[in-house]
């Protein structure tokens, strides 16, 4: 059996899909006349739009430049989609500010966010199929991991925490144990403990037990 190649998109895209699905459902239930709820959900929408903006900038800067260097033109289609996503994000931010006390705006935000999520789901699938094929044809797994490390090394602690918060609870138990096992070896002990404390309430008891067993904690 062939060893699977390193998939640079797999975990961050799982996290983004989970965050998008969660936020879309939250906006669909939103009571525009409940100021406290509008504030909480608006913060979630802003955090989602921030991480989406940041994610596409990371892909442009780190992944597309690598693809471009060895197969010019290979990411043209996805780059054009990134420009379209930036416009959609600006429109969503504009709509979001109109939501308080405005049911029509809340409905408009829901529909527009639904389109945005749909576009992104297709877009991420395309990256996982077509961009991975280009990366795997031109780069070794070690080189792909080096690109991934460059992305992580440039992250702010806030972005890193948000990404971890959405990635770790939404991967399989063995993926989760693998990622945390790696983190335990490379990150400072307090950071590793902080991540465990962050995700423990987000995991069901069954997943937490599997993780404790796998990590021996
Ligand atoms: Fe992308």
The model's pLDDT over 88-145, given as tens digits with 9 standing for 90+, comes to 999 999 999 999 999 999 999 999 999 999 999 999 999 999 999 999 999 999 999 9
Give the pLDDT confidence score for residue 74 in this predicted structure. 95
Q: Same domain, yes or no, for 150 and 197?
A: no
Confidence of residue 2 (pLDDT cuts 50, 70, 90): confident
Q: Same domain, yes or no, for 54 and 137?
A: yes
Percent of the chain residues topping a pLDDT of 90: 95
Give the pLDDT confidence score for residue 1 in this predicted structure. 66
Neighbours of ion ligand 1 (CB under 5 A): 59
pLDDT exceeds 90 at position 190:
yes
Q: Which among 183, 185, 172 is positioned nearest to 211, based on CA atoms?
A: 172
Q: Tell me, yes or no, whether 211 lies in a domain.
A: yes
**How far apart are the CA of 31 and the centre of ligand 1, in A?**
31
H or E element in which residue 53 lies: helix 35-58
**How far apart are the CA of 193 and the centre of ligand 1, in A?**
31
**How far apart are the CA of 202 and the centre of ligand 1, in A?**
26
Count of CB atoms situated within 10 Å of the CB of 200: 14
Q: Give yes or no for a contact between 152 and 163, defined as CB atoms under 8 angstroms apart.
A: no
Q: Tell me, yes or no, whether 22 lies in a domain.
A: yes
Average pLDDT over residues 173-198: 95
Residue with tokens 């900038």: 57
**How far apart are the CA of 160 and the centre of ligand 1, in A?**
18
Give the pLDDT confidence score for residue 95 in this predicted structure. 98
Q: Tell me, yes or no, whether 110 lies in a domain.
A: yes
CATH number at residue 124: 1.20.120.520
Q: Same domain, yes or no, for 208 and 121?
A: no
pLDDT exceeds 70 at position 14:
yes
Q: Tell me, yes or no, whether 195 lies in a domain.
A: yes
**How far apart are the CA of 167 and the centre of ligand 1, in A?**
16
Q: Same domain, yes or no, for 30 and 111?
A: yes
Domain housing 71: 10-155
Q: Tell me, yes or no, whether 2 lies in a domain.
A: no
Q: pLDDT tens-digit profile of 41-86?
A: 999 999 999 999 999 999 999 999 999 999 999 999 999 999 999 9
Q: How far apart (Å, rounded) are the C-alpha atoms in residues 214 and 212?
A: 6
**How far apart are the CA of 131 and the centre of ligand 1, in A?**
10
Give the pLDDT confidence score for residue 142 in this predicted structure. 97
Q: Same domain, yes or no, for 23 and 106?
A: yes
Environment class of 108 (CB within 10 Å of its CB; exposed 0-12, middle 13-18, buried 19+): middle
Environment class of 147 (CB within 10 Å of its CB; exposed 0-12, middle 13-18, buried 19+): middle
Q: How far apart (Å, rounded) are the C-alpha atoms in residues 59 and 53?
A: 10
């Amino acid at each position: 059996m062939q060893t699977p190649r390193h998939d640079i998109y797999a975990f961050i895209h799982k996290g983004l899909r989970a965050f998008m699905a969660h936020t879309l459902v939250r906006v669909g239930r939103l009571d525009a006349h409940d100021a406290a709820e509008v504030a909480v959900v608006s913060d979630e929408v802003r955090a989602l739009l921030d991480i989406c903006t940041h994610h596409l900038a990371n892909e442009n800067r780190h992944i597309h430049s690598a693809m471009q260097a060895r197969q010019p033109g290979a990411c043209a289609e996805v780059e054009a989609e990134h420009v379209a996503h930036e416009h959609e994000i600006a429109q969503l931010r504009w709509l979001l500010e109109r939501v308080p006390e405005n049911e029509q705006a809340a409905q408009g935000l829901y529909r527009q966010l639904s389109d945005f999520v749909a576009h992104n789901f297709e877009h991420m699938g395309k990256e996982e199929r077509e961009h991975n094929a280009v990366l795997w044809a031109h780069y070794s797994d070690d080189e792909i991991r080096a690109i991934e490390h460059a992305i992580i090394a440039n992250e702010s602690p806030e972005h890193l925490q948000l990404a971890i918060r959405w990635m770790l609870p939404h991967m399989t138990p063995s993926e989760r144990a693998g990622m945390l096992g790696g983190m335990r070896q490379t990150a400072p002990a307090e950071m590793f403990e902080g991540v465990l404390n962050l995700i423990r309430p987000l995991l069901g008891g069954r997943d937490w037990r599997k993780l404790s067993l796998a990590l021996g904690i």
